[in-house]
A = this chain, B = another copy of it.
Amino acid sequence: MTSDLSYFFDPKSVAIIGATDTPKFGYFQTNYLIKSGKFKIFPVHIKKETILGQKAYKNVKDIPDDVELSLVLVPMKNVLQVVLESIEKGVKGIIIESAGFSETGREEETQLQNKISKIAKDTGVRIIGPNCVGVTDVYTKFCTSGSDLSNAKTGNISIIAQSGVLGNIVIDWARGNGFGFNKVITLGNKVDVDEIDVIEYLETDERTKVIAVYLEGVKIGNETRFRNILSRVSKKKPIIVVKNGRSDIGSKAALSHTGSIAGNDIVYDALFKQIGVIRAENFYQLFDFARVFAAQPLPKGERIAVITTSGSLGILTCDEISRVGLKLAKLSDDTIEKLEKKAYPKFNWVSALRNPVDIGPAGPELMTFSIKQVLEDENVDALVQIIVIPEQVLNVSEEDPLSISREMFKMYTKQIAKFGLDKPKIISTFASPLLTSVVRSAGEAFNIPVISSMQQAVRCIKAMLEYRKYLDKNT
């Protein structure tokens, strides 16, 4: 079996079986793929002559051209037949989005699913699904989830998810938060293609720098393959995993959801450590980790500097640094002297110029200066910068205050992006949703991740350091 899955992400031609132009399941997928005009699409429908202005075929076998990929949207009871017809037609891959299989917990539907699984194994035709929304590729713009990719930003994170609805949300979420990604793959009930296959494919995908995975469990019999392949790939690219089913009740729910066995969580924990897989607690952490790993260098050590506009949040950050077992950097005398020289004559309110460096409500100039000094300090391995700015300070001018602050934050992040290129830096902001989005897009523009919670920012650095230690030992 080949690990080349590229026809799923950039297919030469696609049959949409169950294509539809009425607003029901399948509509968004059909509409996007036909309207985008980027792919050779053949709609297949048992009755209709045309779909959204394009000639429709009664059967995939009626298509006069070669078909590389079948996208199956028909009701569950017709899926087996169209899979067989697609294989007769000579497709390389099939994506089955239709649901109603083993996840119902019913015998008949599970057997049907097993039949399809066997067909994939016997013929070598690769099948994704059922019960998923297939794939999204922001570079090629191929997308079977129904999302509109016209405004999606490209990036170097690829995401493997299980369920359909989650696959869509990932795309919405990334777009809404202004950050880019590369591919999203939803696997559903995994009759054939599973996480291991996709991870192996992404191993050599040049556009993927970080692999983020939502894992519901490894199927029995696949443990060795899982261990071998992930252990090999994790040495090249960070693999970050949210693993559900930590608890017994969670395991039972996972079993009924996609029919995979959640397994003993402690075993997974140990396994992940052994093979260098980074474990995230939840989806927010998964994305935060992925953002930071994709954008920033790994830290060389455990000494964290904190620069803050709020003393209170600085202290809470120190607590978290201590909790996760990192160290607060001790700034060199030289750095402190420089900071004092610059700050004291001007700001008699400067509260503390040790670490955390609490610069109070200072403007971007002292902020930029402080960050430069701190990042140049050889006693510092990483920086968490806490920006807490009340909305009122943006309202001094009568001109559009939002566009002024957008410009200001862009200039600011552009400058600080130049300092300490070999040290990870994270901005953490606590502000109104509006101001948070302003800071976030400024950060994204210059590859400085903006993480809402300072605790989460510290955990990102901890995860990076752990990964670095793993690499140092194992490569």
User: A361 interface residue, CB < 8 Å from B?
Assistant: yes
User: A465 interface residue, CB < 8 Å from B?
Assistant: no
User: Bound complex: CA of A176 vs CA of B321, how far in Å?
Assistant: 29
User: Bound complex: CA of A169 vs CA of B313, how far in Å?
Assistant: 12
- Choose among B171, B244, B316 the residue that contacts A282 (Cβ–Cβ < 8 A): B316
Q: Given the interface contacts A390-B172, A437-B433, does A316 sit within 8 Å of B354 by beta carbon?
A: no
Contact yes or no, A314 B253, CB < 8 A = yes
Q: Given the interface contacts A23-B396, A311-B257, A354-B256, does A388 sit within 8 Å of B246 by beta carbon?
A: no
A162 contacts which chain B residues (CB < 8 A)?
311-312
Closest to A433 in B: B176
Contact yes or no, A147 B432, CB < 8 A = no
B-contacting residues, A172-225, CB 8 Å = 172-173, 175-177, 214, 216
User: Bound complex: CA of A163 vs CA of B361, how far in Å?
Assistant: 11
Contact yes or no, B316 A250, CB < 8 A = yes
A246 contacts which chain B residues (CB < 8 A)?
319, 322-323
Q: Given the interface contacts A257-B314, A282-B316, A311-B257, does A322 sit within 8 Å of B250 by beta carbon?
A: yes
User: Bound complex: CA of A256 vs CA of B308, how far in Å?
Assistant: 14
Closest to A252 in B: B318
User: Bound complex: CA of A165 vs CA of B391, how far in Å?
Assistant: 11
- Choose among B23, B164, B256, B390 the residue that contacts A147 (Cβ–Cβ < 8 A): B390
User: Bound complex: CA of A312 vs CA of B282, how far in Å?
Assistant: 11
Closest to A455 in B: B282
A214 contacts which chain B residues (CB < 8 A)?
312
User: A356 interface residue, CB < 8 Å from B?
Assistant: yes
A453 to chain B, nearest CB (A): 6
Closest to A265 in B: B319
A281 to chain B, nearest CB (A): 7
User: A43 interface residue, CB < 8 Å from B?
Assistant: no
A392 to chain B, nearest CB (A): 5
Contact yes or no, B455 A175, CB < 8 A = no
- Choose among B169, B248, B315 the residue that contacts A254 (Cβ–Cβ < 8 A): B315
Per-residue CB proximity of A133-160 to B under 8 Å, as 1/0? 0000000000001111000000000000
Per-residue CB proximity of A299-324 to B under 8 Å, as 1/0? 00000000001111111101101110
Q: Given the interface contacts A146-B392, A319-B250, does A169 sit within 8 Å of B284 by beta carbon?
A: no
Size category of the A interface is 35 or more
Contact yes or no, B322 A257, CB < 8 A = no
Contact yes or no, A176 B432, CB < 8 A = yes
Contact yes or no, B253 A356, CB < 8 A = yes
A133 to chain B, nearest CB (A): 9
B-contacting residues, A317-363, CB 8 Å = 318-319, 321-323, 328, 348-352, 354, 356, 358, 360-361
A161 to chain B, nearest CB (A): 7
User: A76 interface residue, CB < 8 Å from B?
Assistant: yes
- Among A57-65, A80-88, A99-107, A367-375, which stretch is in contact with chain B? A99-107
Closest to A318 in B: B250
User: Bound complex: CA of A173 vs CA of B390, how far in Å?
Assistant: 9
User: A266 interface residue, CB < 8 Å from B?
Assistant: no
Closest to A98 in B: B349
Contact yes or no, B249 A321, CB < 8 A = yes
Contact yes or no, A315 B244, CB < 8 A = yes
User: A261 interface residue, CB < 8 Å from B?
Assistant: no
User: Bound complex: CA of A350 vs CA of B256, how far in Å?
Assistant: 11
User: Bound complex: CA of A169 vs CA of B386, how far in Å?
Assistant: 13
Closest to A348 in B: B100
A27 contacts which chain B residues (CB < 8 A)?
396
A452 contacts which chain B residues (CB < 8 A)?
284
Q: Given the interface contacts A321-B247, A390-B147, does A431 sit within 8 Å of B350 by beta carbon?
A: no
A169, A175, A315 — most chain B CB neighbours (10 Å): A315
- 8 chain-A/chain-B pairs, Cβ below 8 angstroms: A163-B312, A168-B392, A169-B390, A249-B321, A250-B316, A282-B453, A283-B313, A283-B316
Task: Give 20 new A-B contacts, CB below 8 A, not counting A169-B432, A172-B432, A249-B328.
Answer: A27-B396, A99-B349, A99-B351, A103-B352, A105-B351, A165-B388, A166-B312, A173-B431, A177-B433, A246-B319, A247-B323, A248-B322, A252-B318, A253-B315, A257-B315, A282-B316, A282-B453, A283-B313, A284-B452, A433-B437
Pairs A-B, 10 closest by C-beta atoms: A247-B322, A168-B390, A176-B432, A172-B432, A257-B311, A250-B319, A250-B318, A246-B319, A176-B433, A99-B349
